[in-house]
Chain A
């Protein structure tokens, strides 16, 4: 029987849904808390056929993936995908290079270059984000030069080193919602629209989710975005614009608790199936 290892830290509702789905399918699951593992290549027990990386800490998850890949163990997602998606600047560069529609963006390390970047992106408003962040934390919509100066000074004085790389994106005027698509390989399986009166629409920040139809355009843009970052189990975030869909970012440790209900798609079960199909000897 195939053994699925789920490498986790804090167990979110998603991890519980994955466990439940695996148990329902009669799959043998090894739950392994990465905070208790010793990543020693000479003694690490490879007592599973495929691994799912579900760490809530990106840094720890990345190390685990690199480690398992070095031992030749199949792990989802791959190190290449984790690298591509873990950092917003990396993701944007890959999307841009592949010609996938994505908002204008730039990276700068100081106030003057940041001002110049804003001008090149078409002026205010812009959004400044920590390149490594998630859950909508520390996102700033910046409407004028004074605010830019204040926010960047705060980052410089109070921030950690990664926060001193200023990732700047054009502000996209979206219709009170954005779109999240769940993409397996290159195939979009289901999608939601996240609505909120606030410009940050993450469901982690209180946005509400409803089903979004799988249009030909959505499937096409998502397939190209997935190919650009290396294919895996991905949550692709998009904005609707008058010129069509544009990809904001791609997440590689998808949270989906609010998406199974509105879409009617069993995401947890599909994740387990996707992993099993990549188990040793089957890939």
Chain B
């Protein structure tokens, strides 16, 4: 669930362009964030070895919304 380790700056790697991505302070699993370099929308899958695991976010589907 929460991957809070306030002292450690968590980073990840963009799976599309390999850029170094620094999420906001407290990334939640399944949270979205754009890659600062290639602008692909990414999703936080979890953490492994002190790093955030990122993958390409799912595309918006027909039934998405409020």
Q: How far is the CA of A16 from the CA of B29 in the complex (A)?
A: 10
By the criterion CB–CB under 8 Å, are B57 and A10 in contact?
yes
| Residues of chain B with a CB closer than 8 A to A163's CB | 62
| Residues of chain B with a CB closer than 8 A to A15's CB | 28
Q: How far is the CA of A166 from the CA of B31 in the complex (A)?
A: 34
Q: Counting chain B CB atoms within 10 Å of each CB, which of A11, A31, A162 scores highest?
A: A11
Complex interface bits, B26-55 against A, C-beta within 8 A gives 1, otherwise 0: 001111100000000001100000000000
By the criterion CB–CB under 8 Å, are B28 and A16 in contact?
yes
Known: A10-B43, A10-B58. A56 touches B64 (CB 8 A): yes
| Residues of chain B with a CB closer than 8 A to A8's CB | 30
| Residues of chain B with a CB closer than 8 A to A254's CB | 66
Residue A58 is within 8 A (CB to CB) of chain B in the complex: yes
Q: How far is the CA of A9 from the CA of B60 in the complex (A)?
A: 12
By the criterion CB–CB under 8 Å, are A253 and B66 in contact?
yes
Residue A252 is within 8 A (CB to CB) of chain B in the complex: yes
Nearest Cβ on chain A to B63's Cβ, whole angstroms: 4
By the criterion CB–CB under 8 Å, are B30 and A33 in contact?
yes
| Residues of chain B with a CB closer than 8 A to A9's CB | 30
By the criterion CB–CB under 8 Å, are A132 and B31 in contact?
no
Out of B2, B30, B63, B66, name the residue touching A10 (CB < 8 Å). Answer: B30
Instruction: Please name the residue on chain A nearest to B43 by beta carbon.
Output: A10
Interface size class of A (residues with CB under 8 A): 20 to 34
Residue A135 is within 8 A (CB to CB) of chain B in the complex: yes
By the criterion CB–CB under 8 Å, are A134 and B66 in contact?
yes
Q: How far is the CA of A11 from the CA of B2 in the complex (A)?
A: 12
By the criterion CB–CB under 8 Å, are A133 and B65 in contact?
yes
Known: A10-B30, A56-B64. A31 touches B1 (CB 8 A): yes
Interface size class of B (residues with CB under 8 A): 10 to 19
Nearest Cβ on chain B to A90's Cβ, whole angstroms: 15
By the criterion CB–CB under 8 Å, are A134 and B64 in contact?
yes
Residue B7 is within 8 A (CB to CB) of chain A in the complex: no
By the criterion CB–CB under 8 Å, are A56 and B65 in contact?
yes
Nearest Cβ on chain A to B59's Cβ, whole angstroms: 11
Q: How far is the CA of A255 from the CA of B66 in the complex (A)?
A: 6
By the criterion CB–CB under 8 Å, are A135 and B62 in contact?
no
Q: How far is the CA of A220 from the CA of B44 in the complex (A)?
A: 43
Residue A174 is within 8 A (CB to CB) of chain B in the complex: no
Nearest Cβ on chain B to A135's Cβ, whole angstroms: 5
Nearest Cβ on chain B to A180's Cβ, whole angstroms: 10
Residue A59 is within 8 A (CB to CB) of chain B in the complex: yes
Q: How far is the CA of A251 from the CA of B66 in the complex (A)?
A: 6
| Residues of chain A with a CB closer than 8 A to B58's CB | 10
Complex interface bits, A19-43 against B, C-beta within 8 A gives 1, otherwise 0: 1000000000001010000000000
Q: Which residues of A contact B (CB under 8 A)?
A: 8-12, 15-16, 19, 31, 33, 56-60, 130, 132-135, 137, 160, 162-163, 235, 251-255
Q: 6 pairs across A/B with beta carbons < 8 Å?
A: A10-B32, A11-B28, A16-B28, A57-B61, A59-B63, A251-B66
